[in-house]
Chains A and B, each alone.
Chain A
Amino acid sequence: GDSVTQMEGPVTLSEEAFLTINCTYTATGYPSLFWYVQYPGEGLQLLLKATKADDKGSNKGFEATYRKETTSFHLEKGSVQVSDSAVYFCALYYGGSQGNLIFGKGTKLSVKP
């Protein structure tokens, strides 16, 4: 079945370091791909998305490119800030108009000053 695998955390970085969180997926067809972020004590917020191969989603300095050939959607940011500390979830959408999101297990990021 369809699934999402993302790197396990926690990930600890110093401020201004480069961030990569790996995400790969297994799906039939061409799913839409998402990154969600969950700040401490809050629900999930959509961070960015890509709906077809080679699309690049971007928001708040984060980027991810939909790579069909490697079935990947890695999240990157060139210079992280303390305020980026959160849990990041990769997700894919399948099933047409009546489908659902499938989430990865989440990666906790801690950024130290």
Chain B
Amino acid sequence: DVKVTQSSRYLVKRTGEKVFLECVQDMDHENMFWYRQDPGLGLRLIYFSYDVKMKEKGDIPEGYSVSREKKERFSLILESASTNQTSMYLCASREQGATRNGYTFGSGTRLTVV
């Protein structure tokens, strides 16, 4: 089975800090995604990547950036963390073209910005 690993389950950061959320998948998937999950809002797509060095904005990219230097790793960067970025962040991956299989998700990182 595909495994998607997010490096931290819980993080607490201060306002203004630069924050890196890391995601690694072990099945050579081309496509990777970052979502945030908030009560009453469901999952919202922040950024996604179809392959190494590629990135596309999702629905809510403001305040975030991403990095995909290696196929297995997709990093989400908060350049200057703010309290409204307190949320659960979920990473997912998918094999290119396997549109009927859905995504495989990591366990999530719960980020609190104080």
Contact = CB atoms under 8 A, between A and B. Distances in A.
Interface in B85-114: 90, 92, 96-97, 99-108
A99 B104 CA distance: 15
Interface residues of A, number: 24
B33 A100 contact: yes
A105 B102 contact: no
Given A42-B107, A45-B105, A96 B100 contact: no
A87 to B, nearest CB: 9
Contacts, number: 56
Contacts of A101: 102-103
Contacts of A96: 99
Contact of A105 (B42, B96, B97): B42
B99 A32 contact: yes
A97 interface: yes
User: Can you list the 9 inter-chain pairs with the closest CB atoms, starting with the nearest?
Assistant: A105-B42, A43-B105, A44-B105, A103-B43, A43-B107, A46-B102, A97-B97, A51-B100, A43-B108
